[in-house]
Amino acid sequence: MTGDYKFYTELKVRYEETDAMSVVYYGKYLVFFEVARTEYLKNIGYKYTDIEKEGFYFVVAESNCRYYSPARYDDDLKIFTKIEYIKNSSFNFIYDIFKSGLKIASGNTVLVCIDKNDFKPRRIPEYLRKAICDFEGY
């Protein structure tokens, strides 16, 4: 099930994340992904704000989500997160969201590292690359 993931974060569905059908609005899953990748980076020792102070931003270049079963208000979710690959200036986060042991959604986001000043692609900082590779074991 989740044996290849080394990290997950937990999240409780808030009322404002649901729609008129009382299920989580589909666009909110991208917010869940953002929470998960932010927590993942904190877990390996880096906050987005620290990386931004170094002169880098990470922008989402691609996002995908597949929905299997709905989440509802007050559900407890586990979002399993890993980095599938890391290239020169981009990396791919993979997500699986579970509710009560059942996978309800999966997806990915490709992030590109850019210079904070000119918004041009930049090589992912070596300290971050090393931390990711050490954590993921590649």
Of 89, 70, 91, residue with least CA distance to 81: 91
d(CA 46, CA 105): 26
| DSSP state, residue 46 | -
CA angle, residues 42, 35, 11, in degrees to nearest 5: 110
- What are the per-10-residue average pLDDT scores of the chain (138 residues)? 85 96 95 97 94 95 98 97 97 98 98 97 96 94
How confident is the model at residue 55, as a pLDDT?
95
Respond yes or no: is residue 19 known to be catalytic. Answer: yes
Collapsing DSSP to helix, strand or coil, 110 comes out as strand
- pLDDT tens for each residue of 13-50: 999 999 999 999 999 999 999 999 999 999 999 999 99
Q: Which of 4, 19, 50, 76 is catalytic?
A: 19
Instruction: State the Cα–Cα distance between residues 101 and 44, nearest whole angstrom.
Output: 25
Task: State the CATH class of domain 7-136.
Answer: alpha beta
pLDDT reported for residue 3: 66
Asked if residues 84 and 13 have their Cβ atoms less than 8 Å apart, the reply is no
